[in-house]
Amino acid sequence: MREKPVNHAGAAVAFIADKPHLDFHDARLWDMRQKRDAQMHLLPEWQDLRSRASAIKEHALANLADYLEEFERNAKSNGIHVHWAADGAEHNRIVAEILEARGARTLIKSKSMVTEECDLRPYLAARGVTVTENDLGERIQQLDDQMPSHIVVPSVHKLTSDVARIFARSYGTDPNADDPHQLAEAQRLAARPVILHADAGMTGGNFFVAETGTFVVCTNEGNADLSATVPGVHIATIGIERVVPRMADLGVFIRLLSRSALGSPITQYTSHFRGPQDGSEMHVVLVDNGRSARLGMADFWTSLKCIRCGACMNTCPVYRRSGGLSYGAVYSGPIGAIIDPTFNERKYSTLPYASTMNGSCTNVCPVKINIHEQLYKWRQVLVEHHQMPFVKREIMHMAGKLMGQPRLYRAAINGTETALGTLPRFALYNWLNPWGKNRELPAPVKETFHSWYRRNRPTAGKATPETVKTETKA
């Protein structure tokens, strides 16, 4: 049986029905968007920075193989072990082997979207390794057994009362104590012993620099640093597209990242890693997992410029009103809608339609990915690949035919037409029905513009200069 596409629209119905969550989610993310705007206004060079960031990324992607090899050479000479993972399975195997070689049973891990992509946690759990997330939001999601709903603030769809309930279940705290400071403290108390006694630490990586063989992790809670300083071994999982050529390029991205993400000038911690601590090992696992294939897609390769700031999600009016989990994918929101189909075209065939293509995402994106144009393009690809539901496909087909035939079209508008294509009428009306669920229909009018025109400008409009010629010929 073919896999069913994600039902984004259905999940959104449930999300919207829960008013307290909906209102909080929308307001919180809109606030982040506004803080981003405020930061943008403080930097007159904002648009220039975006152009530079985009150009650097495009250059790096166009020369990806060279920069990856340069990084590998330099990282190795810094004492870093560099691994290459073609896909999620290989990534997980590599990580498990590193841990096994050291007999590590507990792993403290800071937030990384790539490990979500690879589904690392269940893989390690099955091999007896206990993984503890130490980013607060990510930990909440782990305890609640949910995917992150946002790439920067993974539990943004939850109220503090939800968190209190989850912590009560896992940590035995008071389920009614939903003060955020108290909750953070509960997490700190629970995490500290785990961090102190962990056998290994793991982080993601926001950027890696070819020229220096180093990598950079940006966080606000310092959780990457806690993971990285666990004695023994530090494993960093990074997608191959995150390379920048030179250290000098980094400033452009650091200036854009947190301003775009949270509207703060910089993340609290911007940590550079250049080699293992004494007596420890450092491993970088560079993950492809579909990225090279994406690089070869003429219309979609620039999605690899993404620095995962989440600005496109914060600004997206659809995302704010449906929540990240409704996308049913590791990556949600506008960026998710254009990259998820590269992982599974059938399953994520609905996501490019979960958008009005309003274009706000494209214009906040710090690396100028033309997100809404890629959504538009994806729809064409999905139709070509027969991923559009039958009724909708037939309606479009029928409408297309009708629009080419003025007389039939006129009859349809006037409601006098009887044989509208092949699709039964009820199918069309069923499809259009949802309009009236939460909205009134426009009031009927006495006369169309067309017939008004014929009455009021009786001699005009019969033909245009061009059609006079063609019609006399015929």
Partner 1 sequence: MGMKIGLFVPCYIDAFYPGVGIATLELLERLGQDVTYPTEQTCCGQPMTNAGCVSDSAAAEALFVKLFSGFDAIVMPSGSCTHHVRAHFDAIEQTDAVRHVRANTYELVEFLHDVLKVRDFPWAEFPHTVGLHNSCSSLRALRTASMSELGEPAFSKPKTLLSGVKGIRFATPARPDECCGFGGTFSVTEEAVSARMGLDKVRDHFHAGAEYIVSADSSCMMHQQGCAERNHVDIRFIHIAEILNGARQ
Scan residues 306-325 and list those touching partner 1 (CB under 8 A): 315, 317-318, 321-322
- Which entry of ligand SF4, partner 1, none binds 435, CB below 5 to 8 A by partner kind? partner 1
Q: Which is nearer to ligand SF4, 173 or 303 (CB)?
A: 303
Give, for 125, the enclosing helix (H) or strand (E): helix 120-126
- How many C-alpha atoms does 61 have within 13 Å on its Cβ side? 27
Which of 59, 81, 165, 401 is in the footprint of partner 1 by CB under 8 A?
A: 401
CA Rg value for the chain: 27
Helix (H, G, I), strand (E, B) or coil at 202: strand
Q: How far is CA 124 from CA 90, 108, 197, 316, 464, in A?
A: 13, 12, 18, 35, 71
Count of residues that bind partner 1 according to CB under 8 A: 82
Instruction: Mark residues 333-372: x for contact with partner 1 by CB under 8 A, - for none.
Output: -------------------xxxxxxxxx-xxx--------
Please give the Cα distance from 372 to 354 (Å, whole number).
11
- Which entry of ligand SF4, partner 1, none binds 449, CB below 5 to 8 A by partner kind? partner 1
265 near partner 1 (CB under 8 A) = no
Q: Which is nearer to partner 1, 81 or 377 (CB)?
A: 377
Which tokens hold the place of 363?
A: 């214009």
Q: What single letter denotes the amino acid at residue 330? A: V
Paired sense of beta strands 214-219 and 130-133, if any:
unpaired
Which tokens hold the place of 108?
A: 């403290």
Please give the Cα distance from 411 to 398 (Å, whole number).
14
Q: What is the dihedral of CA 55, 57, 63, 66, to 10 degrees?
A: 130
Select the span of 57-65, 111-119, 153-161, 386-394 touching partner 1 (CB under 8 A).
386-394
CB of 8 to partner 1, least distance (A): 7
272 near partner 1 (CB under 8 A) = no
Which of 181, 442, 455, 472 is in the footprint of partner 1 by CB under 8 A?
A: 442
Q: Which is nearer to ligand SF4, 56 or 307 (CB)?
A: 307
- The string of DSSP letters for 132-197 reads EE-SHHHHHHHHTT---SSSSSTTTT--HHHHHHHHHHHH---TT---HHHHHHHHHHHHHHHHHH
- Which entry of partner 1, ligand SF4, none binds 369, CB below 5 to 8 A by partner kind? ligand SF4
Q: Which is nearer to ligand SF4, 263 or 366 (CB)?
A: 366
287 near partner 1 (CB under 8 A) = no
41 near partner 1 (CB under 8 A) = yes
CB of 385 to ligand SF4, least distance (A): 23
24 near partner 1 (CB under 8 A) = no
Give, for 281, the enclosing helix (H) or strand (E): strand 281-287
- Which entry of partner 1, ligand SF4, none binds 428, CB below 5 to 8 A by partner kind? none
Which of 18, 31, 37, 100 is in the footprint of partner 1 by CB under 8 A?
A: 37
Instruction: Tell me which residues touch ligand SF4 (CB under 6 A).
Output: 260, 306-312, 335, 364-367, 369, 371
Q: Which is nearer to partner 1, 65 or 445 (CB)?
A: 445
- Other Cβ atoms less than 10 A from the Cβ of 466: the count is 8
CB of 239 to ligand SF4, least distance (A): 12
Output phi, psi for 201, to 5 deg.
Answer: -125, 150
